[in-house]
Amino acid sequence: MKHYLLQLAEKQSFSEQQMEEAVDFILGEEVSESEIAAFLMGLKSKGETVDEIAGIVRAMKGNTLRFNQKFPNVLDNCGTGGDGSSSFNVSTTSAFVIAGAGIPVAKHGNRSISSKTGSADVLEYLGVNLNLSSERTEEILHEIGIAFLFAPHVHPKLKKVMTVRKALKIPTVFNYIGPLTNPIELDYQLLGVSRRDLLNVFAEVLKKLGRKRAVVINGAGFMDEASLQGENHYTLLEDGIITNHIFTPEDVNLPQYNNSEIRGGDSIENGEILLKVLKGEKGAPRDTVLLNAGIGIYTAGKASSIAQGIDLAKQVIDSGAAYAKLKALIEKSKKGQKEAI
Contact at 8 Å (CB) between 267 and 125?
A: yes
Contact at 8 Å (CB) between 280 and 324?
A: no
Task: Report the C-alpha gap between 42 and 38 in whole angstroms.
Answer: 6
Q: In what order do the strands lie in the sheet with 232-238?
A: 146-150, 105-109, 75-79, 188-192, 213-218, 232-238, 241-247
Predicted pLDDT of residue 142: 96
Predicted pLDDT of residue 18: 96
- Residues 49 and 79 placed together within one structural domain of the fold: no
For β-strands 213-218 and 232-238, DSSP reports them as antiparallel
- Residues 260 and 285 placed together within one structural domain of the fold: yes
Domain with residue 32: its CATH number is: 1.20.970.10
Binding residues for Mg(2+): 91, 224-225
- Residues 191 and 83 placed together within one structural domain of the fold: yes
Using pLDDT thresholds of 50, 70 and 90, give the confidence band for residue 165.
confident
- Residues 59 and 81 placed together within one structural domain of the fold: no
Q: What is the pLDDT of residues 29-47, one digit of tens each?
A: 889 999 999 999 999 999 9
Range of the domain at 15: 1-63
169-173, 296-300, 313-317, 329-333: range with lowest mean pLDDT: 169-173
Binding residues for 5-phospho-alpha-D-ribose 1-diphosphate: 79, 82-83, 87, 89-92, 107-115, 119
Q: What is the pLDDT of residues 99-147, one digit of tens each?
A: 999 999 999 988 876 556 889 999 999 999 998 999 999 999 999 999 9
Residue 159 lies in a domain: yes
Q: Tell me the three-class secondary structure of 183-241, residue by residue.
A: CCCCCEEEEECCCHHHHHHHHHHHHHCCCCEEEEEEECCCECCCCCCCCEEEEEEECCE
What's the whole-number mean pLDDT along residues 52-69? Answer: 92
Sign of CA dihedral 262, 263, 268, 270: positive
Binding residues for anthranilate: 79, 110, 165
Residue 340 lies in a domain: no
Task: Report the C-alpha gap between 216 and 200 in whole angstroms.
Answer: 8
Q: Output b/e per residue, 184-219; b: 16+ Cβ within 10 A.
A: bbbbbbbbbbbbeebbebbbbbbbebebbbbbbbbb
Task: Report the C-alpha gap between 258 and 243 in whole angstroms.
Answer: 27
Predicted pLDDT of residue 152: 87
Q: What is the pLDDT of residues 169-192, one digit of tens each?
A: 888 998 899 899 999 999 999 999
- Residues 25 and 144 placed together within one structural domain of the fold: no
- Residues 327 and 197 placed together within one structural domain of the fold: yes
- Give the orientation angle of helix 199-208 with respect to helix 50-61, to 10 degrees: 50
- Residues 153 and 54 placed together within one structural domain of the fold: no
Binding residues: 79, 82-83, 87, 89-92, 107-115, 119, 165, 224-225
Residue 68 lies in a domain: no
Task: Report the C-alpha gap between 291 and 313 in whole angstroms.
Answer: 8
Contact at 8 Å (CB) between 23 and 59?
A: yes
Q: How many CB atoms lie within 10 A of CB 62?
A: 13
Q: What is the pLDDT of residues 2-32, one digit of tens each?
A: 999 999 999 999 999 999 999 999 998 889 9
Using a pLDDT cut of 90, give the percent of the chain over it. Answer: 83
Using a pLDDT cut of 70, give the percent of the chain over it. Answer: 97
Q: What is the pLDDT of residues 223-259, one digit of tens each?
A: 999 999 999 999 999 999 999 999 999 999 999 999 9
Using pLDDT thresholds of 50, 70 and 90, give the confidence band for residue 336.
low
Domain with residue 204: its CATH number is: 3.40.1030.10
State the number of CA atoms in the 13 A half-sphere of 235 facing the CB. Answer: 22
Domain closes at, from 34, 63, 92: 63
Predicted pLDDT of residue 81: 85
Question: Rounded to the nearest 5°, which phi and psi values hold at 227?
Answer: -130, 150
Q: What is the pLDDT of residues 185-225, one digit of tens each?
A: 999 999 999 999 999 999 999 999 999 999 999 999 999 99
Task: Report the C-alpha gap between 44 and 8 in whole angstroms.
Answer: 10
Q: How many domains does the chain have?
A: 2
Residue 69 lies in a domain: no
Question: Is the whole-model pTM more than 0.85?
Answer: yes
Residue 6 lies in a domain: yes
pLDDT at 337 over 70: no
Residue 308 lies in a domain: yes
What's the whole-number mean pLDDT along residues 247-272? Answer: 96
Residue 341 lies in a domain: no
**Average pLDDT across the chain, whole number:** 93
